[in-house]
Structure 1
């Protein structure tokens, strides 16, 4: 059984000499010499008999003995004891026979071959003598009882010099109380008892060793950093080590706790640290490709606008509705510009411009196209009824209508600013990975999906309305150069929007 627990190496022995020898011999047979640390009680103490010829197996053993003191005067008293002056001790005759290996009387237990005692033998002269180590404790025990009886007699029988009836009937529990209450200078130290009746522990420690190496003995090894102890039930010194996993950190030696939503454990899982913040970088492929396309679109838009400016007064430019064409090109330009705002590092200013331009470019473009298609539709519908031109078809009127349509979008954005001011947030859920050390918080503008839909919803409404007018004007003459391309574009755009949805 001692080998079942791998790291438990200390063995406490409360055993006789024979049992101690048996255990040491068993460890030697199992080839475990030096593996165990033996801790022996006072039955082993300073004796060599338990380890005779087993010294190698006992290396490192620690034993204890109650601290003893030699009582001066006792040796002179005891060595002067003889059969004549110590008749009151009924066991002294038996001790005499054993000490001098002789026989005193026919009733003696010694065998007949033993010589007869003369009575003239002397202790320490005719035999070996060494003061027994427990003499001190015997003397102190006798005095403790004497002090307790004296104090008890004084309390129960103050008027008597001996035992009275009250003391005779007091019982053992009360006597025990008086014994535990005594305090006096004993034969070597102060004699006193604690509330449990135990005297202060005073021991001599012995170690049988050939080297200064101190082996370790544990049921379980200490847990590593970032691991908690799961104590084995009924065995407080034994535990299993469980790692703190996921987003947990080691709160104390027995507990793992979860880091807050914006934190992750550090490398050794002893504390939490902030999750690194990331954003879309300009060097990312997700940014480079859109920027490249946006630059191409911006360049093309500027070239077209420059061409319009150069040929501003030519019949073909004027016939195309140059005022609304400039508005349309401005809207297209803003649609490309929003790419840079979406990649820029979010802050209050960037988030404000994102809200403004998110749907503004599309709104301007579709407002201009809607005004154009509506103008064409009204002209041809009016032509079916009379030769009088419809109202509000002049360039100034067209710009006014377009401005009104655009102002609705701007009014919605203004209300959005008041209800929910622009702000930045850090989204910790978007890139929260199973491995906490790869987790990142994403810095972004505080714009929800619903808000984006609402911002683009008005532009979609303009696009659908424009598509309706484009369908209605599909039968215009071939030489009316704007209606059919607009109709084709609106149908294509509507189809793309449906696919995205």
Structure 2
């Protein structure tokens, strides 16, 4: 009673909405009756308003002929439904929910034949229609269709009231898997949950993590979008925006789509899970408003078949589509290619298409291009189920009255149990009356002939446990015929040394630079390298900095080397001069033995520069420290003894003519050896306790530069303190002998040398300590050592050689006489003569006393 009431409410509602249209196109039918009749609701036209007011659909025409071909093929076989004929009744649902519902009522007219007698008063039928008088009531055992989820939902609800199974070959909405609502709905295509999984797998494969979603406002689009949002969140895919579009979109809706695509410019991949006319309207508007967006469109199973015909090839180039798994049916293609409306039994839509539309041009393989397999397999599923039902009702299959009582309710369990190999592969149904998910993946691209077309690039199969997605990447062509996978991400590729930080825009990031001495970890953290390391070229790790040493191409180093070489040459020349003029009184008076030690110290000073400038190592650092320390000791220990000797001689001459002690060359050399030995012991002890190291500089600010140099330890100060003590004592005796007559025995020249050295040493310490660069430190130290050597050479020895070489002998004699005369003011002539005769040159008789004549 309740079912009858609902039925009549549906009838009245639909009749009122549809009867006013009086649409002769929708009332067209293609019918051929048999023992059992299969109805069909196919999309042979579209519906912009309430009527069938679009051009005829080639895909619908092919589907109609495929169904007829499958039924006639079954009727010609003896292994399935022997002695039983299948009939068909094909109607046009015009892709409209109202029309589909109306046509389904027309197919079920045997329930109340008088209810629709005036709905379609003139029902065009096939001219060679064969009617079976025993089945004049035209009872439909099942329905093939519809081709949309939006139309299948109301039709499935209606047919469920009358327990008539309906099997769709295209409706894939997840909503239709609800068996509580749609107990008599089956389909030969997988539900959208599989299709969405295939789309998401492709998105993940191409590393698109920032996409947009456009969907139609119907069951197909709404449920598909919801499933996509769930899977995207699970797989880490960010949806930049989701935009619903009505079935007949307005200009405002389409403009909003374009505005969103421009606004979210990094979402270069757009999943359009929408009905055919919605997708075409969006593409048309994008092409007219923003043709340069270069978007990779991902389409489902409902659109993308007529892109070339609509002139959308350029805007859709590079797009990816999921298509229900369908194999070519060669026998149908041959049959379809031979059809002739003039001689063959064809549908009125085929006749209309070939006469008025495109001269009847179809693809070379319509079974593949228009996905015929689900239609054919649906017909065969009914045939196998009927065969099973007939075998159950009539085991003997002859003269069985029980067949006349077969109904959809009886047929349903047999449909759910079918399991056979159809044209598209193995077909069976799960607990939701859904087949397994299997899709062909296609890429829309520009062909070699300049035209656009779809190329099969892979497969997705839900029954494969490991890798469901298989793609042939080399077959894919993207926008602009590019082979490079386009980017669709709001996460930029940061240059080395940058980390990703969140942006204010959803799911977007910005690149933020790290400090120069920091590496990037996990693209999100800056980690500081230790001061002796520096980031590598791609900022992924820290590498040891190769310490730099002084370059022999540096102008300062070149100058220091030249000064050292010149100093060595001058020292050698001085030594040669002293040896050559060994017998000269001025040379004898300079204490030849002590002078030889001083010259060795000067040579060490110049050699120390070389040790400081070469690449530092443990050995060179120890050698340079020892050489510097000894150079000063060898220079100023003998000098100290010389000025001390002069001081004692003139001091002793005032009170006695006796020769002072410890002034002989042998004893002076012994004392010099003791002073030098003390320095050697200091060096040995200091280097043992805290040896000098070759270390790197510690930069104040992090830089990719370290310098290797010899860091003299605090123990080195002991050597320096000892040498400073020698210099200070030299300064004292030089000061005390400042009044020695006429520079007697070089005391004033020694004073100039030690004073200057003391000033240089005092100036070197603060400069060396405060210098940052190694070249400054080394240059300061080298300069101090060089100045010490040059001051000693120039002030003490080169003046003597100059006098010996260039000053006439008479002036030297006068000089000696003046010296004695001046000294007479302090001592008696006899006492002074005796003292000088014993001490000049360091030995008695080493100078001619006869040359000293009192004035």
User: Under TM normalisation by the shorter chain, which class is it?
Assistant: 0.5 to 0.7
Deviation for aligned residue 1:18: 5.2
- What TM-score, normalized to structure 2? 0.39
C-alpha change, 1:390 and 1:481, in structure 2 (3 Å) is: closer
Offset from partner CA, 1:288-313 (integer Å, 9 cap, x none): 32232223322332233233333435
**Does the CA-based 8 Å contact 2:321-2:442 persist in structure 1?**
yes
Question: Quick check: 1:487 aligned with 2:760?
Answer: no
Q: 1:186 to 1:365 in 2, by over 3 A?
A: same
Out of 549, 557, 571, the residue aligned to residue 287 of structure 1 is 557
Which residue of 354, 365, 371 maps to 2:641? 371
Q: Given the alignment of the two structures, is residue 419 of structure 1 paired with residue 689 of structure 2, yes or no?
A: yes
1:4 aligns with 2:263: yes
Q: Is the 8 A contact 2:499 2:513 kept in 1?
A: no
**Judging changes above 3 Å, is the alpha-carbon distance between structure 1 residues 227 and 241 closer, same or farther for their aligned structure 2 residues?**
farther
Q: Which moved more, 1:312-321 or 1:227-236?
A: 227-236
Report deviation, 1:448.
2.6
Deviation of 1:41 after TM superposition, in Å, equals: 4.0
* 1:482 alignment partner, SS class: helix
Q: Where do residues 397-436 of structure 1 align in structure 2 (5 Å cutoff)?
A: 397-421=667-691, 424-425=694-695, 427=696, 429=698, 434=703, 436=704
The 1:51–1:11 alpha-carbon spacing in structure 2 relative to 1, beyond 3 Å, is farther
**Contact 1:7–1:221 under 8 Å retained in 2:** no
Q: Which has the higher contact order (CA 8 A, sep 6+)?
A: 1
Counterpart in the other structure of 2:272: 13
Counterpart CA distance in 2 for 1:242 and 1:184 is 61
Equivalent position SS for 2:661:
coil
1:35 equivalent to 2:35? Answer no
Q: Could you tell me how far apart the structure 2 residues matched to 1:246 and 1:299 are?
A: 48
Q: Distance in 1 between matches of 2:442 and 2:581?
A: 113
Q: Which structure carries more helix by proportion?
A: 2
Greater shift, 414-423 or 231-240, is seen at: 231-240
Offset at 1:465?
Answer: 1.6
**SS of the residue aligned with 1:469?**
helix
Query: What's 2:590 paired with?
Result: 320
Q: Which residue of 1 aligns with 2:24?
A: none
Show CA shifts across 1:99-131 (max 9, x none).
Answer: xxxxxxxxxxxxxxxxxxxxxxxxxxxxxxx99
Q: Secondary structure at the match of 1:455?
A: helix
Is 1:465 matched up with 2:732?
no
Give the Cα–Cα distance (whole angstroms) in 2 for the partners of residues 390 and 416 of structure 1.
Answer: 37
The answer to whether the 8 A contact 1:45-1:64 is kept is no
Preserved contact between residue 249 and residue 272 of structure 1 (Cα < 8 Å)? yes
Q: Is the 8 A contact 2:326 2:374 kept in 1?
A: no
Q: Counterparts of 2:693 and 2:417 in 1: how far apart (Å)?
A: 82
Deviation larger for 261-270 or 471-480: 261-270
CA pair 457-430 structure 1, distance change in 2 beyond 3 A: farther
Secondary structure of the residue aligned to 1:12 is strand
Q: How many residues align?
A: 390
- 1:140-197 CA-to-partner distances (Å, cap 9, x unmatched) read 9xx9xxxxxxxxxxxxxxxxxxxxxxxxxxxxxxxxxxxxxxx987686555589xxx
Write the distance in 1 (CA, Å) between the matches of 2:418 and 2:728. 110
Contact 1:37–1:60 (8 Å) recurs in 2: yes
Contact 2:326–2:373 at 8 Å: present in 1 too?
no
CA distance in 2, matches of 1:297, 1:403: 25
Aligned partner of 1:354 in structure 2 is: 624
Once the two structures are superposed, the pairs formed by residues 198-347 of structure 1 within 5 Å of their partners are 201-203=437-439, 205=441, 210-211=452-453, 213-215=477-479, 216-220=486-490, 223=493, 226=496, 230=500, 232=502, 238-241=508-511, 246-249=516-519, 257-259=527-529, 261-269=531-539, 274-347=544-617
Q: Distance in 1 between matches of 2:324 and 2:429?
A: 14
CA distance in 1, matches of 2:264, 2:739: 95
Equivalent pair of 2:534/2:542 in contact (CA under 8 Å): yes
Question: Would you say the 8 A contact 2:276–2:304 is kept in 1?
Answer: no
CA apart distance, 1:481: 3.0
1:451-491 Cα deviation digits (max 9, x unpaired): 55443332122111211122122233337333332223333
Measured in 2, the distance between the counterparts of 1:207 and 1:308 equals 99
Q: What residue is the counterpart of 2:853 in the other structure? A: none
Measured in 2, the distance between the counterparts of 1:471 and 1:206 equals 104
Query: What's the counterpart of residue 709 of structure 2?
Result: 444
